[in-house]
């Protein structure tokens, strides 16, 4: 697939460690936004929070994209924008609805299955190489999910937390596809275009239910809504830049750094301790994903040829 932005190729390409570090920064900003969103969802609900945050995001991304655009996207590029926007809408609703019902560290740990699923998605959609060890990695990672669910089973029954866990797992499946789409989208559109159209498409989807489910937020919630939109926009721009310069199966492991931030913000903001089962489960999931994402060495490549 030919990139629409060949001028970016004329400049010296950044090293892959730099691209990886930029992706880590994007995840850190995105994880900080999660903390803001969790507080808002608890106060005004998931749909209201996402609708107003998305409207603020349309304004912010529009100011970045519209004055400098060189024309509207082609039908092919618009199709990629529409698919990712639809997936992102489902992903956001299920994740933030679940996040309001489970500790941040646990939600992020469960979401870690997304990079592993993205490896298989990258093979299917982008035809990227997936090591044979991916099956073993999947078993290890899903064992980690089982440990976290076992931890829930050992505590007092909480149907609301269980429903939140299922919602986060559904979101993780959507996010796995989103990671693949992020790479596909970044190859045909610039960061500001990616951020703008994602905000517009997600906003249009939420607008369909707004007359029936959305209420005007109180003035006290406006700074948090705008702040969440700003964090989401910056994260989208940074991740779009990184995924335009690195393969999805190389950058997917940056998602794991979100656990550190989730644990920190969960403890500082919401006084949520990190349970031993969550730590153990997260370690297994991360181990499985790292096993799957390990790049082949030169010997492996030569053997394959």
CA pair distance 184, 297, nearest whole angstrom: 25
Q: What is the mean pLDDT of residues 171-188?
A: 82
How do residues 1-24 score in pLDDT, each as one tens digit?
Answer: 444 444 444 567 778 788 888 988
Output the average pLDDT for the chain.
81
Q: In this predicted structure, what is the pLDDT of residue 18?
A: 87
What Cα–Cα distance (Å) separates residue 211 from each residue in 27, 44, 200, 208, 289? 33, 16, 17, 7, 42
189, 251, 267: which is closest to 25 by C-alpha? 251
208, burial (CB in 10 Å: exposed 0-12, middle 13-18, buried 19+): exposed
As a whole-number percent, the residues of the chain with pLDDT over 70 amount to: 83
Give 274's DSSP letter: -
Q: In this predicted structure, what is the pLDDT of residue 292?
A: 61
Give 9's DSSP letter: G
The pTM assigned to this predicted structure is: 0.74
Lowest mean pLDDT among 34-43, 90-99, 143-152, 292-301: 292-301
Q: In this predicted structure, what is the pLDDT of residue 305?
A: 34
Residue 71 binned pLDDT confidence (cut-offs 50, 70, 90):
confident
207, 208, 277: which is closest to 54 by C-alpha? 207
How do residues 190-240 score in pLDDT, each as one tens digit?
Answer: 888 888 998 999 999 999 988 888 899 899 999 999 999 999 889 888 988
How do residues 251-290 score in pLDDT, each as one tens digit?
Answer: 877 877 888 888 888 888 888 888 888 888 888 877 876 6
Q: In this predicted structure, what is the pLDDT of residue 230?
A: 92
Three-state secondary structure call for residue 127: coil
CA atoms within 13 Å, Cβ hemisphere of 267: 10
Give 294's DSSP letter: P
């Amino acid at each position: 697939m030919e990139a629409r932005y060949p001028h970016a190729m004329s400049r010296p390409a950044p090293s892959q460690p730099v691209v990886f570090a930029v992706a880590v920064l994007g995840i850190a900003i995105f994880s900080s936004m999660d903390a803001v969103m969790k507080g808002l969802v608890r106060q005004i609900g998931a749909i209201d929070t996402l609708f107003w945050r998305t409207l603020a995001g349309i304004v912010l991304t529009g100011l970045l994209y519209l004055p400098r655009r060189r024309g509207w996207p082609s039908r092919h590029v618009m199709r990629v924008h529409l698919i990712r926007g639809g997936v992102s809408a489902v992903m956001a609703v299920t994740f933030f609805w679940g996040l309001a019902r489970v500790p941040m560290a646990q939600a992020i740990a469960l979401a870690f299955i997304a990079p592993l699923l993205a490896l298989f998605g990258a093979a299917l959609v982008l035809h990227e190489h997936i090591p044979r060890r991916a099956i073993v990695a999947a078993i290890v990672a899903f064992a980690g999910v089982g440990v976290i669910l076992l931890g829930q089973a050992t505590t007092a029954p909480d149907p609301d937390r269980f429903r939140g866990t299922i919602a986060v797992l559904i979101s993780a499946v959507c996010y796995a596809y989103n990671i693949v789409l992020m790479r596909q989208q970044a190859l045909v559109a610039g960061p500001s275009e990616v951020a703008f159209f994602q905000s517009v498409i997600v906003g249009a989807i939420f607008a369909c239910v707004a007359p029936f489910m959305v209420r005007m937020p109180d003035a006290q919630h406006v700074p948090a809504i705008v702040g969440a939109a700003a964090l989401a926009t910056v994260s989208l721009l940074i991740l779009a830049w990184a995924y335009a310069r690195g393969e999805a199966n190389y950058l997917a492991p940056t998602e794991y750094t979100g656990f550190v931030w989730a644990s920190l913000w969960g403890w500082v903001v919401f006084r949520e301790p990190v349970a031993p089962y969550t730590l153990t489960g997260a370690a297994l999931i991360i181990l499985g994903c790292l096993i799957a994402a390990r790049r082949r060495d030169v010997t492996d490549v030569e053997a394959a040829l």
